[in-house]
Structure 1
């Protein structure tokens, strides 16, 4: 194959080699999905890393993709089931967590999410959808946590975490057209403390 590619490269106007031609063909086939599920592409680094997968690895990847597709549906079912068991006061606390998360985005431009400290989809010890299991995490941190169980913040830690994020945001607030108002932050933290518990 290399001999044939070298011969073709010698006939081209551009300065190239057979090895470059083979690499270009492979790259083109990879980018168009020509290898299907038989290769794994790691795009997290530059240059991208590619490796062929065995038949067993292909089946594992397919099972993982199915699991990832079903996870949001399972999560919704768990939340619905657990929500039916919450008292009115507990549901109010859950609603407040969600509202405060949205208001941190509205007033400070920060992507906070309501996180289950003991993850609902943790394979070994799944958590419950209950206000005593909730905390606020920035979206990037929540994405890294995924289905892991982390010790829940104490309220003092939760407050420090939110204040640190707002302090960092205030350094670029003017450039982002975000007005950091201390009284809004204080009000949100008071509301959070009232429903945080534990």
Structure 2
């Protein structure tokens, strides 16, 4: 065992650093218990004094989770909260620097997007701006009437580092928020209108299957109207 690991935080991070891949908090707690039986023994003793039914391992996992939430591990870990339960991994110093640089870029990205949209909007005709406004309105109404988080996406991304796109209606499509997040600054072939219609209808069909369980009221009567409006402004 590394004698330099004096603090509990150091021991937690060391345990995580021995994993080759992402770990859940529970898996991380198991690593801590395996490598540092003294921490587990202390946690077991503290758990035995509590009124609620718990164990030392669960106490370690709870402490790890609390420190993650409070930022107690700083930039030394990366958290993937897109899954349940969330997963974490240890970052080497080089990865930390790269990760911090990427976070700065992500923080600045909205301002860069605003500048690009403002610049390109100055070149739009009235009809082109109307088409963009319709994309945005239809996206909002899909949320209102179907409970679906659609976003207006630039098929050729505005912030793509190699071949950035333009803010123009011929570059727009509607994507579910989860898909748009995965796309990020990548360029995807734009949907044809037939593909866009099929994509929206498939999302609404799935939403219909679970709407009652989610307490969502789906208003299917407006679907044809929204798709007709979208076709009118979609373009080739």
Establish whether residue 133 from structure 1 lines up as the match of residue 171 from structure 2: yes
Alignment size in residue pairs: 192
Structure 2 CA distance for aligned equivalents of residues 4 and 170 of structure 1: 51
Establish whether residue 62 from structure 1 lines up as the match of residue 100 from structure 2: yes
RMSD between superposed Cα atoms in Å = 3.3
After superposition, where does 1:64-143 map in structure 2 within 5 Å? 64-143=102-181
Q: What is the aligned partner in structure 2 of residue 180 from structure 1?
A: 219
SS at structure 2 position matched to 1:150? coil
TM-superposed CA distance for 1:186, in Å, is 0.9
8 Å contact from structure 1 (residues 83, 91) kept in 2 = yes
- Cα 1:193–1:29 shift into 2, 3 Å: closer
Cα deviations across residues 69-122 of structure 1 (Å, max 9, x unaligned)?
Answer: 001111111111111110000000000000111111111111111110001111
Establish whether residue 144 from structure 1 lines up as the match of residue 178 from structure 2: no
8 Å contact from structure 1 (residues 40, 53) kept in 2 = no
Compute the TM-score of the two structures, normalised by the length of structure 1: 0.81
2:92 maps to which of 53, 57, 82: 53
Instruction: Give ranges in structure 1 of 5+ residues lacking alignment.
Output: none
Structure 2 CA distance for aligned equivalents of residues 131 and 28 of structure 1: 44
- Cα 1:42–1:101 shift into 2, 3 Å: closer
After superposition, where does 1:7-18 map in structure 2 within 5 Å? 9=42, 12=45
Q: What is the aligned partner in structure 2 of residue 37 from structure 1?
A: 75
Instruction: Give ranges in structure 2 of 5+ residues lacking alignment.
Output: 4-34, 49-56
Q: What is the aligned partner in structure 1 of residue 229 from structure 2?
A: 191
Q: What is the aligned partner in structure 1 of residue 12 from structure 2?
A: none
Cα deviations across residues 139-177 of structure 1 (Å, max 9, x unaligned)?
Answer: 111111111111001011111111111122222334434
Structure 2 CA distance for aligned equivalents of residues 192 and 4 of structure 1: 62
Establish whether residue 164 from structure 1 lines up as the match of residue 222 from structure 2: no
